[in-house]
Structure 1
């Protein structure tokens, strides 16, 4: 079961990777169309304003279609075979679901307390790929994608009678999905409006829990990383409705211009931003840890260690990628990793208590584009406070880690007598903790066996230049026809 959770967490990255760049674009366009920053250039009707508005429209592509991205992206990581077909099936079945919901609401919406014609932001409705439907967010998208992956893995390879061959594969999965989506659409129309109301209540509770809620969120997000379960912590907050409708990422980019123009404290404008500050430990925690590594290393190893940790610190601070440090802890001294998680939670909570908030879940490049540049004119004071707290925590990290490393003689990089200095990766950690088990036997796939035989008869895989097909014919381009079994001197017949 744990392996399945980890695999799901990894699949989440497929659509998420697009968000960082799109967020930077939206943040920059907000800056370059803000009259307080660029003056008269930002007046409507100027070429400057027009160009940046066009760029802004492109930047919103990802955020306006998050549900579709998750529906298409998750099968790429979860399907056991024919992943591309699984993604296409997921899109078709997801849009079938949305069309069912649309028609049910048009005919019976009032019975469920939903007005399909409402244009209010609080209506609980959204237009997805041209279809007005319930706004189920990425939760609905992930659920439907999960159902499709299950159908695909179970039924994609089912062999139908030859006369029904046109309905095999993706067509068969889509047919099953079609009939399954009808009761699921009815279920969603009945339950989701109630769920949306419950979400609003939960959002209120999470925001009102203040510092305790932020501490718990940051600690769990960091502490669950080695189990691959941290995705289940941050995803509902950043991309779902756990603390604000649409998630912290989408809400922030939608309101960048409004927040930038306001002189009200950011903590009042966006109190939900405390649940998007896990990036602070990347910028201020990792440098303190690196200093502790360096100061506790054997002097003869420090030069090599410096060449190792400087790129790691820059990668963590600028891009938010902390794997070399995280898995070095887990490999050498897991206790240090949980100290890191505790200090990361303390760091973010302290900043939040002093009024720091925003979309700060990644690295310095992303944070600068979406926070510092657009917000600086009216909110620079809070960022000065943030960096003062951050620099103090670099010192706290250094003192705590140095003390623990020396106290318990943890063999962090550079502390071994040999001259080999290295950090560790996720694969190193997995291999260290891999338990021996009995080899599992997998049943032979008759279709794979037959395919292998055909490939051999065709002269091997290297003899096949290209493969194409329609429903009834397989078309091959062969490099050397003479290598085809039983075809020598019969090329004309072939």
Structure 2
């Protein structure tokens, strides 16, 4: 039972991150558009910025419920993913029109306020249809339900006379009634749920810096299990991260609010408190502190080798915002170091809040862009170098103290041969197929592999027999760490994991005996 629950959570965590992966590109272009909209720019440039900001904010940010619905439906579908995606879109459309119809028939359609907006009414416009406002939760719920029904019914067979209604078409037929039923039920239930969410958000906000510390610490503690998405994603994209009214629009989720603010910076008088979840130096300061500490504590003859391992990992964190390569270098060596890292990670959010830093801190490129867009009196970005130095130094000195005090055998603290370096970095001279063969062999062979998926940085693989897994063989393929949880294996690949997953799937198909 525990294994089934854990597998379900893993599947959901993997599925929910798929739509979010596209938000990275959207956020970057919204930031660029916001920079083009600065008043000092020529009118033609401002017009271009307005165009891109409107297209992306209305076409992506405002349509997140639909994007999540389709993304989760397709990601959770075990087969026929194209059919599943089409069903996800259609189910979403049926739901919003059914919900609007029941609200109309029962005379519960809210009236716009004096500003011509539905903000504060518990309802919202989605694709031009007024419905009960569930935000991204709507897409998540419909996506999960659609995928469940699809997987259960997509292989149903009927008599040849009615065979045109079998399989995926039968799954869709059932979902028509399910989505209508949900539209009716949720029109009554969700306002109550929404009240509960509001109270929860207010409670989190009332805890101030302590709440941010708990969020940051828990975020790191969940990372090894691949479940941290379930913590930060709702805060970034749903009302759990706050709700704000900006330039006549209502935005829910800390990241959505931030992107709306930078796009309307000329009319801003303050930054929403939800930025506290985003002012996170875990992408820049902490990786630098970790690397300096590991180099400092390495044996003198190993320092150059250790630098060769750590510098690419720091680069991945600082430039690309991918922290797993640097974090997994010490995670499996010492849980105590990992706990200390989680404490400092949470403390970084607290210090940002206490000092009054009101700007999103991500990778160095995004951070510089945001710092240039937000007025200094609102963002207080002059604090960035100060906090950067403080947190880098804190991570460095804490790591050096713990490593030396407990004599932790972090990378480079023992005699390192060239083979050890290859093991640490995963360097390979073999061809791509040979390298993929290490993963398959280490997982117990093709017949022991059930399913291969991926999230942003890691391969997620379901297997038949955990006893057949040989980590030492898997480590011959370049990776930053391996996590075993019963019949679920995660291999930390980092940037480019999508290509590795596709190549691995093709490799397995070409070597399958079934």
**Are the structure 2 counterparts of residues 333 and 414 from structure 1 closer, same or farther at C-alpha, using a change threshold of 3 Å?**
same
Could you say which residue in structure 2 is the equivalent of 1:317?
318
1:297 aligns with 2:292: no
* Structure 2 match to 1:255: 261
Of 6-15 and 117-126, the range deviating more from structure 2: 117-126
Give the number of the structure with larger relative contact order, counting CA–CA contacts within 8 Å between residues 6 or more apart: 1
Matches within 5 A, 1:65-104: 65-104=63-102
Cα contact 1:328–1:423 (8 A) shared by 2: no
Structure 1: state its 5+ residue gaps.
Answer: 438-460, 463-494
> How far has the Cα of 1:62 moved from its partner?
1.7
1:350-386: CA deviation from partner (whole Å, max 9, x where unpaired): 11111013333x32222333x2121145446x22223
Matched residues in 1 for 2:458 and 2:112: separation?
50
Q: Please give the alpha-carbon distance, in whole angstroms, between the structure 2 residues aligned to 1:431 and 1:304.
A: 22
How far apart in 1 are the matches of 2:363 and 2:217? 18
Gap runs ≥5 in structure 2: 244-251, 427-456, 460-474, 489-508
Q: How far apart are the structure 1 equivalents of 2:485 and 2:92? A: 38
Per the alignment, residue 496 of structure 2 pairs with none
Report the Cα offset of residue 12 of structure 1: 1.8
1:301-350 Cα offsets, whole Å, 9 max, x none, are 21122122112112101221011122222322222112111111011101
Query: For residues 62-92 of structure 1, what are the alpha-carbon distances to aligned partners after superposition, in whole Å with 9 as ceiling and x for unaligned?
Result: 2121111111111232111112211111111
Pairs within 5 Å for 1:97-112: 97-110=95-108
Question: Which runs of structure 2 are paired with 1:112-123 in the superposition (5 Å)?
Answer: 114-115=109-110, 119-123=117-121
Q: Which structure has the bigger radius of gyration?
A: 1
Q: TM-score, normalised by structure 1?
A: 0.79
Aligned equivalent of 1:367: 367
Checking the alignment, whether the CA contact within 8 Å between 2:30 and 2:263 is kept in structure 1 is no
SS in 1 for 2:240: coil
The answer for the alignment partner of 1:176 in structure 2 is: 174
Shift of 1:128: 2.4
Asked if 1 retains the 8 angstrom alpha-carbon contact of 2:33 and 2:263, the reply is no
Question: Following superposition of structure 1 onto structure 2, how do residues 46-445 of structure 1 map, counting pairs within 5 Å?
Answer: 46-60=43-57, 61-110=59-108, 114-115=109-110, 119-245=117-243, 246-259=252-265, 262=268, 269-277=271-279, 279-360=280-361, 362-369=362-369, 371-379=370-378, 382-419=380-417, 420-421=420-421, 422=424, 431=482, 433=484, 435=486
Query: What CA distance in whole angstroms lies between the structure 1 residues aligned with 2:486 and 2:193?
Result: 42
- 1:116 shift after superposition: 6.3
* TM-score normalized with structure 2 length: 0.77
- Structure 2 Cα separation of the partners of residues 131 and 261 of structure 1: 28
Distance apart, 1:230 and its partner CA:
1.3
Q: Determine if the alignment matches structure 1 residue 34 to structure 2 residue 38.
A: yes
Aligned-residue offset at 1:135: 1.8
The separation in 2 between residues aligned to 1:301 and 1:83, in whole angstroms, is: 49
Matched pairs, number: 421
Answer yes or no: is the 8 Å Cα contact 1:413–1:423 preserved in 2. no
